[in-house]
Amino acid sequence: MNPILKDGPQCRLEPGSQRAYDVAIVGYGPVGQALAAMLGQAGHRVGVFERWPSLYPLPRACVVDHEAMRILQSVSVAEPFSRLAVPTGGEYVWLNAAGQTLYHFRYPCDGVSGWPSRSLIYQPDLERLLDQRVKSIPQVEVHQGYEVTGLRSDADGVTIEASRCEADENGRLQRTQERCNATARWIVGCDGANSWVRQASGIAWEDLGFRADWLVVDVIPNDPTRELDMPEAAQICDPARPVTLMRRMGKRHVRWEMMLLPGEDAAEITQHRNVWPMIEQWIRPDQGRIDRAAVYTFQSGVAGTWRQGRVLLAGDAAHLMPPFLGQGLCSGLRDARALFWRLDDVLAGRHEASALDLYELERAPHVKTVIERAVALGKVVCITDPVEAARRDESILSGNAPTLPQFPTLTSGLLHKPGRDSVAGELGPQPVVTTSGQTGLLDDVIGAGWHLLVDNDQAIPVWDARHERFAAAIGLQTVVLGDQARGASALQWLRSRELTAVLVRPDFYVFGGAAAPADVSPLLDDLQRQLRSTMKVTA
């Protein structure tokens, strides 16, 4: 008997069945979904295990950036999702209790990745689209309602045991007596901040010191076309109660996040009768309904290691940050992309398993910097002492506040002369290009692998046979931008850095840049040298 019983759009495992996968993913939030889609569409057999029988119906993250959209583009979700998201106008303000502007963050409306710099989203829209994409891929089996309760790992792979779960009439999860087993070459824990995979593997968790309880309120206005009298995105640094607000979260929802004060009870403050007075200056009960009011603890932390043998971690299982930069979901999607292209190489036999060591080496410093900056902003926001808040306001308004640093780049790992090559570790551009009669975003036209962007025909490198073999081995494609208007953004990006070419990795980060055509071959030589220790076939 076939051990897979179709239970609606998901897979139900026959009790006692044994499945074999290339990769088992535990957790079916956006990070697990995106990773499953990437691996599945690359031809790898993936089994996803999620203890809840259905998708989580309420939003958590409310912002994605242009890089996250490019990652979603790689699994054919960005275009439909963009129709449900709301691009911001490039502004985010911090106000004090008197309504004075403390910070006015301005950023380009369009990001280097070919998508809006920031978009306000309703997370269930994203999860629904990712779910549809994942379940359309034959190589992926999604087991919702199966909690992983056992994990054994050795040098060859992992064995897991899962228990089938059902939700009772009160929405609580209950395990049944049904058990099933699966083996996989690798397992990835995408199962959130309280990751069972991380804990079962004995991986330590480092608390980075930030902790605050906040009330999160999502409201659906009766008239979604009516703009509320509030900023598009703002932080109100009021010592009486710090507040974050977003006028649009997707097409219909509005969000407020309000810090709990000492002595306030989570169960009591989430009662609608107590919530409405807190937001009535923006919306009244007769103008909308509360979709969700819940207290969340904003925290910061990072796993002691992201890889232990055949066990890997991604997303909140690997790191956790407060939401003040809107980078939690974005960072998890970066993990998925960074992990995918290395797992793909290892599973396809192109690289040794040691290639996966670069995953944490590159991602951990990057995300720790993001966490540190989010925590620093959070500490400024969460001041509740009126005297200290007044000093903060005076310092910022007098112009003495430090400037906000640029978004971090990769600083270690597979990079050309990190710290000396001016663009190594930056996020590479994605222009609209025309080639072979096809016009579209770069990744849609050539695929999302290794590629070399060159300024013009004269910048095309002339390689010897060894370079040609190596370029073919890694699937490198050369794209000539020329002076066509469609490639203007990438040309401007190159020329502003005084470069004639740039070599970009499959996760869209720049390996290195070349100032002159003669510098391209040494760039490829360095890449080959760095890959030699893990690559099974070299030129």
Q: Which of 228-232, 265-269, 336-340 has the lowest mean pLDDT?
A: 228-232
Residue 458: pLDDT band with limits 50, 70, 90: confident
Residue 529 confidence (pLDDT): 96
**Total residue length of the chain:** 539
Question: Is residue 25 situated within a structural domain?
Answer: yes
Residue 68 confidence (pLDDT): 98
Q: How many CB atoms lie within 10 A of CB 181?
A: 15
- pLDDT, tens only, 301-336: 999 999 999 999 999 999 999 998 899 999 999 999
Structure tokens at 441: 């975003």
Beta bridge partners of 236: 95, 243
- pLDDT, tens only, 387-400: 999 999 999 999 87
Question: Is residue 300 situated within a structural domain?
Answer: no
- Exposed, middle or buried: residue 312 (CB in 10 Å: 0-12, 13-18, 19+)? buried
**pLDDT > 60? residue 538:** no
**pLDDT > 70? residue 83:** yes
Overall domain count for the chain? 2
Residue 484 confidence (pLDDT): 56
- pLDDT, tens only, 161-218: 999 999 888 878 899 989 999 999 999 999 999 999 999 999 999 999 899 999 999 9
CA angle 219, 221, 222 (to 5 degrees): 140
Domain extent at residue 163: 4-59+123-204+306-358
Q: Are residues 52 and 154 in the same domain?
A: yes
Q: Report the alpha-carbon distance of residue 376 to residue 59 in Å, rounded.
A: 25
> What is the DSSP track for 150-217?
EEEE-SS-EEEEEEEEEE-TTS-EEEEEEEEEEEEEEEEE---TT-HHHHHTT--EEEEEEEEEEEEE
State mean pLDDT over 424-442: 89
Question: Is residue 45 situated within a structural domain?
Answer: yes
Q: Are residues 444 and 338 in the same domain?
A: no
> What CATH code is carried by the domain that includes residue 511?
3.40.30
Q: Are residues 343 and 439 in the same domain?
A: no
Single residue among 358, 373, 397 that ends a domain in this structure: 358
Single residue among 330, 358, 386 that ends a domain in this structure: 358
Question: Is residue 236 situated within a structural domain?
Answer: no
